[in-house]
Amino acid sequence: MNCHLSTSWMPRLEAIVENLDDSKHRDFRLWLTSMPDKSFPVSVLQNSVKMTLEPPSGLKQNCLGTYNSIDTDDFESCAKPEIFKKLLWGFVFFHAIVQDRRKFGPIGWNIQYAFMNEDLTVCKRQLQMFVEKYDFVPYKVLNYVGAEINYGGRVTDSQDKILISHILERYITPEILDDGFKFSTSGLYNSIPVGEKEDYLEYIRALPLNPKPEAFGLHENAEITTSQLEVIALTDNMLSMQPRTSAGKGKTREEVIMDLAKFLESRTRTVFDLEVVGKKFATDYSESMNTVIV
């Protein structure tokens, strides 16, 4: 269930979970899914085994993750492959840009939005539908549904709404069909020749690991804010691992870290055999839970 869509029922959920005990069947499990939401009961969260899905950090890793997740048959299924692949690359790059702009703080977005892979998936399906249906490419429609509906549905700030529309217009444009069309002033990021999925992966692997602010359309000084935020996060994590002793002989920093590592290792299950799991819970149109379990 998507708990964030049932906020009024969360108190009832909390009561149900509190009444769960060992008398239930040994194989009983309660699966809950939710976006980050203040209404989600803290007690339920504390008593749960938590799994999180976060987008890859960085422009390069984000694009790599996206293309690795695209099925090869889907990638080659469009009746107009040249146009589809060109514009898909534009959407993939746009998806990575809007997610990675969050590292710039208020310079990137006035509000930290939780853009999801599902937003890109919808854009991909709509792109293929519009490309195949029309004799011409409806760029205005693609920009509107992409920036105003699919991604824009999460954007609440009025200035951010204008910004995300302008960002997408930079990539979903007739010029992207030309090889070498620049996505940034440096020309490091551009529209590459149409090829197979591996050709795009090879191009992305050659990109720098740490992109300059110009890739996002920002001034070089924007990197100062990013560096400051990264240092603050790093030092906070380091301080959180320091021993909390006031007097007497306590554990050293290395001992605390080693104890924490051993504790995490003891709580970690052995690695699943994905091949065996895939056969046991095969993909089935009538059983969507298999996809979740795998």
Instruction: Give 55's pLDDT tier (boundaries 50, 70, 90).
Output: low
Question: What pLDDT score was predicted for residue 249?
Answer: 65
Per residue in 197-244, pLDDT tens? 999 999 999 999 888 889 998 888 888 877 887 888 888 887 877 666
- Listed in sequence order, the DSSP H helices in the chain are 10-18, 42-46, 59-69, 72-75, 81-100, 117-133, 139-143, 158-171, 197-205, 222-240, 253-267, 274-280, 289-293
Query: H or E element: which one contains 37?
Result: none
Domain 59-224 in CATH 3.30.56.10? The answer is no
Is pTM, for the whole model, over 0.85? Answer: no
- Three-class SS of 145-183: HHHHHHCHHHCCCHHHHHHHHHHHHHHCCHHHHCCCCEC
Where are the chain's structural domains? 3-46, 59-224, 245-294
The residue among 114, 96, 106 whose CA lies nearest residue 54 is 114
pLDDT band per the 50, 70, 90 thresholds, residue 245: low
56-98 pLDDT per residue, tens:
678 999 999 999 989 889 899 999 999 999 999 999 999 999 9
For the ranges 120-124, 194-198, 263-267, the lowest mean pLDDT is seen at 263-267
